[in-house]
Amino acid sequence: MDGNYTKSNKHLVLITPGFPGNEADANCLPWLTGFILALANDIGKENITVLSLQHPFQEGWYTWNKIKVYSAGGKNKKGIYRFFTFRKIKNAFQKIRKQHPEIIIHSCWLTATAWIGNQFSSKYGYPHIASIFGQDALPSNSYLSLLNNTSTKIIANSAFSANIYTSSTGKKADAAITIGINPNVYKPSAPTETQYDLVSVGNLYELKQYHLIVRLVEQLKIKFPKLNAAIAGDGPDRDALQLMIDEKGLNSSIHLVGAIPNPEILNFIRKGKVFVHPSRYEASSHAMLEANYAGLPVVCSKVGYYPTSGYVFQCDGYSAMHDKIVTLLSTTLRLPPAEVPMIDETIRRYRELYQF
Q: What is the pLDDT along the chain (356 residues), one digit of tens a residue?
A: 445 455 578 999 999 999 999 999 989 999 999 999 999 999 999 999 999 999 999 999 999 999 999 999 999 999 999 999 999 999 999 999 999 999 999 999 999 999 999 999 999 999 999 999 999 999 999 999 999 888 899 999 999 999 999 999 999 999 999 999 999 999 887 767 889 999 999 999 999 999 999 999 999 999 999 999 999 999 999 999 999 999 999 999 999 999 999 999 999 999 999 999 999 999 999 999 999 999 999 999 988 887 887 789 999 999 999 999 999 999 866 788 889 999 999 999 999 999 98
Burial classification of residue 63, based on how many CB atoms lie within 10 Å of its CB (0-12 exposed, 13-18 middle, 19 or more buried): exposed
Question: Which residues, 6 or more positions from 27, have their beta carbon under 8 angstroms from its beta carbon?
Answer: 259, 261, 262
Same domain, 30 and 101: yes
Dihedral over Cα of 50, 52, 55, 60: its sign: positive
Q: Is residue 334 part of a domain?
A: no
Same domain, 17 and 133: yes
CATH code of 75's domain: 3.40.50.2000
Residue 152, helix vs strand vs coil: coil
**CA distances (Å), 234 to each of 1, 133, 231, 241, 290, in order?**
33, 20, 9, 11, 18
- Residues spanned by the domain of 317: 189-329
Q: Is residue 337 part of a domain?
A: no
Per-residue HEC secondary structure of 52-121 comes to EEEECCCCEEEEECCEEEEECCCCCCCCHHHHHHHHHHHHHHHHHHHHCCEEEEEEECCCHHHHHHHHHH
This prediction has a pTM of 0.93
| CA–CA gap between residue 141 and residue 277 (Å, rounded) | 24
Same domain, 275 and 176: no
**What is the DSSP code (8-state) at residue 333?**
-
Domain count of the fold of the chain: 2
| CA–CA gap between residue 147 and residue 115 (Å, rounded) | 6
Same domain, 97 and 170: yes
Same domain, 315 and 234: yes
